[in-house]
């Protein structure tokens, strides 16, 4: 159990620094609330219209496709590390990554032909 003491100390220090910074910004920071500052905004743009309006399905489709391809590209970094580390099996590792890229390319061509990346 004594091996966890440094980790607990570090977590406590991190929490203490965060609390101190929040307290200091609350105490020292300027306080000049007005109607514009207290208004609701999304990404710096004032909201226009009803929040319950319907979105096009294409929006969700593009978002899911982005996540799909973005998450799959996360596999490139470990592959590069392993590829450089194991020189004896480089051909196999390269072949596996080429198969992976081929599958990604087939998926990309499929969604491109279906028109999922085109906005009307």
Give the contacts of 52 (CB within 8 A, at least 6 positions apart).
none
Instruction: Give pLDDT, residue 110.
Output: 84
Top-confidence range, 24-28, 38-42, 44-48: 24-28
> 76-112 pLDDT, tens per residue?
888 777 777 776 677 787 888 889 889 888 888 888 8
Write the DSSP symbol of residue 30: -
CATH topology of domain 2-114: Methane Monooxygenase Hydroxylase; Chain G, domain 1 (1.20.58)
Domain ranges for the chain, please list them.
2-114
Q: State the pTM of this model.
A: 0.46
């Amino acid at each position: 159990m004594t091996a966890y003491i440094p980790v607990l100390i570090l977590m406590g220090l991190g929490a203490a620094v965060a609390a101190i910074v929040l307290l200091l910004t609350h105490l020292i920071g300027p306080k000049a609330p007005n109607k514009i500052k207290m208004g609701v905004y999304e990404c710096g743009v004032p909201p226009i219209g009803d929040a319950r309006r319907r979105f096009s399905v294409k929006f969700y489709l593009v978002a899911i496709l982005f996540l799909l391809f973005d998450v799959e590209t996360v596999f490139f970094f470990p592959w590069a590390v392993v590829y450089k580390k194991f020189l004896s099996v480089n051909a196999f590792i390269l072949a596996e990554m080429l198969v992976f890229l081929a599958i990604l390319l087939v998926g990309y061509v499929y969604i491109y032909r279906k028109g999922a990346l085109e906005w009307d």
